Structure 1
Amino acid sequence: MQIDKIKSIRIKWDIWTLSTIICLLFFTLFMVYPLLQIFRLSVINDGIFSFKYFNKFLEKKYYVSALTNSLLVAFSATFTTVIIGTVLAYITHTMKIYGKKFLEIIIIITMLSPPFIGAYSWILLLGRNGVITNFVKNTSGIILPSIYGFHGMLTVFSLQLYPLIYLYVSGALKNINKSLLEASESFGCIGIRRFFKVILPLLMPMILSGAVLVFMRSMADFGTPQLIGKGYRTMPYLIYNEFISEVGGNDGFAAALSVIMVIITLIFFLLQKYISRKMSYTMNANKSMEAIQHSGLKNIAAHIFVYIIVFLGLLPQLTVTYTAFRKTSTSGRMFIPGYSLTSFHIAFKKLGNCLVNTYVFSIVAVLMIVLIGVFVAYLAVRRASVITHLLDTMTMVSYIIPGSIMGIALLLGFNRKPFMLVGSVFIMLLAYVLRRIPYTIRSSAAILTNIHPSVEEAAISLGASNIKTFGYIVLPMMFPGVLSGAILSWMTIISELSATILLYVKKTETLTIAIYTEVVRSNYGTAAALSVILALSTVTVLLLFFKLSKNSEIKI
């Protein structure tokens, strides 16, 4: 009997067991270990366990106010994006809006440009010497409120991140059964009352999913506060200064600030998951909602609202494009009346390897993400066990870790032999893979749940091996979900700044870092030209995705 018991718990060694072990080792070594270094550094002071750094944070109003500012910006941005994104999605999916497909492409493009580019664009428009500021002042004598500080950051985040809510809510609206709305209408529940009583509760799980992404992005963003904050301190700004500063900086204190940030984002993430579970619904959308043609004032008001929001979201990119074609001095710092390609000429001279690095790093990172993500998704769905569940949970850790903290973790974990990776290409690739792999895993797992296991069982019963069945049967069926996650990962990788600003050296500089550097140096023409190159890359890949997938939307 004892022998039988030993046999029953013996591990079945096959390709999936080996894949599980390799993936576990990868995430343990390259994600868990570096993050543990942050926690260790935050509580170890001169070799002694201590909460000295946390007490330092709590004792000084200067530091506590940075946390308060970060939370205020994050919650305010989440609130405004939820309202804008939800209303916009509801209008475009219940009413026929002229040019809807084109508008949705613009909405996606709005989401993909780095937030700090939006910040710098609004400075050009509404800064102290901005185009709109000067125009209003010269024509009416009115001095517009400052774009700097809290209001500027809220404007940037709201117009940059509302597409996240829009995409989530759009997906949920497509799953609402039309017969449910007809039933509520028969009971006299129509108009705004039906929206709040019937539709909004059905949308809430997806709204919360989008809200947690908005909260984490606005909470963790580094570039926007740096450019437009002007004294409005936030936690990422403090962490960056404490870790990088050669005068007065403290790695241990930076680690403690990072731990506080992680705890807050973790609490918000777990709260969202708990509420979503409580409010989850299962719907059969064989009769999905249809957009209805309206007329009169209601139709005009809907079109005006949609067009204004989409235009304001696109305005920073339009400003950047316009700026790129203005004449500049040979340094790229001063603008001269007229238009030329001078900024692009200067930009290409300054590019160096950063353009090649951007494409090579992002493509290699996406290939790694697809390879690892597909296996993790398959293991989590088809080979469910305690170990694969642990692996799936580990991959989601990076979902809640701010980019700057991930960058610090990698620097602390791999700055000495035998794992001396600081300054290498591999550490940049690690940052990309760890931060963006949840997109591919989630999209791959979602489509895999819709593939019935009997398909694989039939192939195996006909003599195909497990790996052959996976490669020739399952993987082609997973392709749409894998491609969607890979494209989304790629487009967010090329706009990554928070982690890579800490990890890069001259030979690993990317396009986003080059843009940020030029903005900080006030070389706005050169920065604008580089931003246009980045935007064109994003749009090209987006259109290629639509062509390959024969679809007109990205699902998240």
Structure 2
Amino acid sequence: MRYAGEKKCNIWVAMALGILSLFLIFVVYPLVLILYKSVLTQDGSLSLAYFGKFFARKYYWSTLVNSFKVTIVSTLLAAALGLVMAYVLRSVRIRGSKYLNILIVMSYLSPPFIGAYAWIQLLGRNGFITRILNNLFQVKLNGIYGFAGIVLVFSLQSFPLVYMYISGALKNLDNSLNEAAESLGCSAVQRVFQVIVPLVMPTMLASSLLVFMRVFSDFGTPMLIGEGYKTFPVLMYSQFMGEVSTDDHFAAALCVIIIGITLVLFFFQRYLGNRFTYSMTALKPMEAEHCTGLKNVLSHLFVYLVVLIAILPQLTVIFTSFLATGGGSVYTGGFSLDNYRNTLFSKNNNGAIFNTYLFGLCAIAVVVVLGVLISYLTVRKKSILTNILDTVTMFPYIIPGSVLGISFLYAFNSKPFLLSGTALIIVISLSIRRMPYTIRSSTAIIGQISPSVEEAAISLGCSETKSFAKITVPMMMSGVLSGAIMSWITLISELSSSIILYTSKTQTLTVAIYAEVIRSNFGNAAAYSAILTLTSILSLLLFFKLTGSNDISI
């Protein structure tokens, strides 16, 4: 949108150039450097030897196969479970559905590795449920470690994302189509597979691809419960951060491989979105009906059981955080507040809590300010420059967090950009990681604001920048704040980039939890996890308060 008398070189062009420069420095430059390092040998010559090394040895390329196996199975299970849960809760009147919806969202917001830690407490070799089963059936179970455990954690932690997307699609579905199929003699099962599923298939594919990308790039869960089943992100982390046989150049080659895979997935998602997306107008929206008999009983049992299993990790970490431990690793059976005393009131331990809130608030401030400016520039000031800016700002959405962390250490570990080891590099990485989500939500909000509102203010003598600050921003603020809260929840749960960039002085809650679990200090790990879970719950309740809704369907 360009106004009469507006100069081509104005404050908006300068702002777009400034923001683009920041992304070139903190996104493009590290990625170019990691690409260069992947083809640079120890003697300084250019070669593809590191890529050949990866594909020549089964030990390396088998981790990629393992990642695809885990990701495909987890995505299929999450998609199936999310579809069934969304349909049941939209079609059958379930008691307490409002609170069940909140619990499902809560189960998604915690990091997957916390779920892995909680399931170790439940189904590990000495887990609570494992001991019961061993005593009851006189067997010796080996726990959930390996492929099955990784799939269990990822499936239960990812299905809420599919649920939220499909629930939103079902909200816009015209139920008259379902009724027409019923009048033509279709049974309930036939209507689901021939009417409902085809209508929500584009949404299910899009959400499944998001799950696929998230699961494929996660390394925290396989590190904790994978044991001998090593995945590609674990290999990449160990090559860069391992205690022995580390190789920076080989790690860079692994980063390039995973970037290539995620790029293909991203463009495949965009293709499916453009190819299969269509609009539906719900003239007669789908409403939950009161059921009786066996259908009602089975629906309630299924929904309650799935929600209970999904939320069980959060309940477990909260419960175990109050258990007394001997030496921090063995639960003695009694209750105590020692775990919270160690984490909240110990100078050596409470720094992670303070850092999480401090870094998170700083990052959210950056995300909100830049997100609003970028969305305004790309919607209202369309040009070649803003189109480039829009494309570059989407890169962090594609890049796995561990790759971003490694690229940051490559790029900012020497002068003139010596940032490694500082709190600033943590804040920048958190901001970069969550920026695309806020940009997309802000872009959608600006698209709903008519340009005539700003034009009217300018015609009355208001400058364009003042119109933006006094009119556009306040109109966007409610949506921006609710989006910022959701970004905050995912931001404080970030592990993959923080664990590569942190030092003893810049440790965050997620890093502290991971480190305590690795050291088998389960008491402190449970207390840290409970604090993070409680923070996410309070943030989610604040989101519902601001939006005036208990539904977070997408």
Q: Quick check: TM above 0.5?
A: yes
Q: What residue number does 1:220 align with?
A: 217
Matched residue count: 547
The CA RMSD over aligned residues, in Å, is 1.8
- 1:165, 1:211 within 8 Å by CA — same for their partners in 2? yes
Q: Deviations over 1:195-229 (max 9, x none)?
A: 23332233223222221221122111111111100
1:80-229 to 2 correspondence within 5 Å? 80-144=77-141, 146-189=143-186, 191-229=188-226
What is the one-letter code of the residue matched to 1:44?
L
1:20 to 16, 33, 52: 16
User: How far apart in 1 are the matches of 2:276 and 2:503?
Assistant: 47
**Contact 2:351–2:507, Cα closer than 8 Å, also in 1:** yes
Aligned counterpart in structure 1 of residue 442 of structure 2, from 441, 444, 451: 444
Structure 1 Cα separation of the partners of residues 385 and 38 of structure 2? 29
Query: Which residues of structure 2 form unaligned runs of 5+?
Result: 1-5
Classify the secondary structure of the residue corresponding to 1:335.
strand
| 1:443-483 superposed Cα distances (whole Å, 9 cap, x missing partner) | 11122222222222222222222222222222222223312
Which residue, 304, 315, 324 being the options, matches 1:307? 304
Q: CA deviation at 1:11?
A: 6.9
- Residue from 226, 230, 249 that aligns with 1:233: 230
Residue equivalent to 2:288: 291
Report the counterpart of residue 38 of structure 2 in structure 1: 42
Aligned position for 1:351: 349
* Separation in 1, partners of 2:474, 2:451: 15
Query: Please, which of 449, 458, 461 is the counterpart of residue 459 of structure 2?
Result: 461
User: Within the alignment, does 1:364 sit opposite 2:365 as a pair?
Assistant: no
Between the aligned partners of 2:168 and 2:152, the Cα distance in structure 1 is: 25
Tell me how far 1:551 sits from its aligned partner: 2.2
TM-score (norm: length of structure 2): 0.95
Of 501, 504, 508, which aligns to 1:503?
501
Letter in structure 2 aligned against 1:78: T
* Contact 1:332 1:346 (8 Å CA) reproduced: no
Q: What TM-score, normalized by structure 1, do the two folds share?
A: 0.95
Q: C-alpha distance in 1, partners of 2:460/2:185?
A: 57
Residue 442 of structure 1 and its aligned partner are, at CA, apart by 1.2
Separation in 2, partners of 1:107, 1:510: 25
Q: How does 1:377-392 map to 2 (within 5 A)?
A: 377-392=375-390
For structure 1, list consecutive stretches of 5 or more residues without a partner in the other structure.
1-9
Distance 1:514 1:193, change over 3 A: same
Q: Which residue number corresponds to residue 487 of structure 1?
A: 485
User: CA separation in 1, counterparts of 2:466 and 2:20?
Assistant: 23
User: 1:239, 1:438 → 2: CA distance?
Assistant: 25
User: What pairs with 1:272-283 in structure 2 (closer than 5 Å)?
Assistant: 272-283=269-280
Alpha carbons of structure 1 residues 453 and 191: separation in structure 2 relative to 1, 3 Å: farther
Distance, in Å, in 1 between the alignment partners of 2:28 and 2:509 is 29
- Taking the aligned partners of 1:267 and 1:31, their CA distance within structure 2 comes to 19
Q: 1:189: how far off?
A: 4.4
Q: What fraction of aligned residue pairs are identical, expressed as a percent?
A: 51
Residue 138 of structure 1: how far off its partner (Å): 0.7
**Which amino acid counterpart does residue 463 of structure 2 have in structure 1?**
S
On the 8 A contact 1:204/1:276 being kept in 2, the answer is: no
Cα distance change on mapping 1:175 and 1:351 into 2, 3 Å: same
Q: Summarize the Cα distance change of 1:525–1:397 in structure 2 as closer, same or farther, 3 Å threshold.
A: same
Structure 1 partner of 2:25: 29
In structure 2, relative to structure 1, the CA distance for the partners of 1:462 and 1:177 (3 Å cut) is farther
Give the superposition deviation at 1:485.
2.1
Match of 2:548 in 1: 550
Alignment partner of 2:393: what SS?
helix
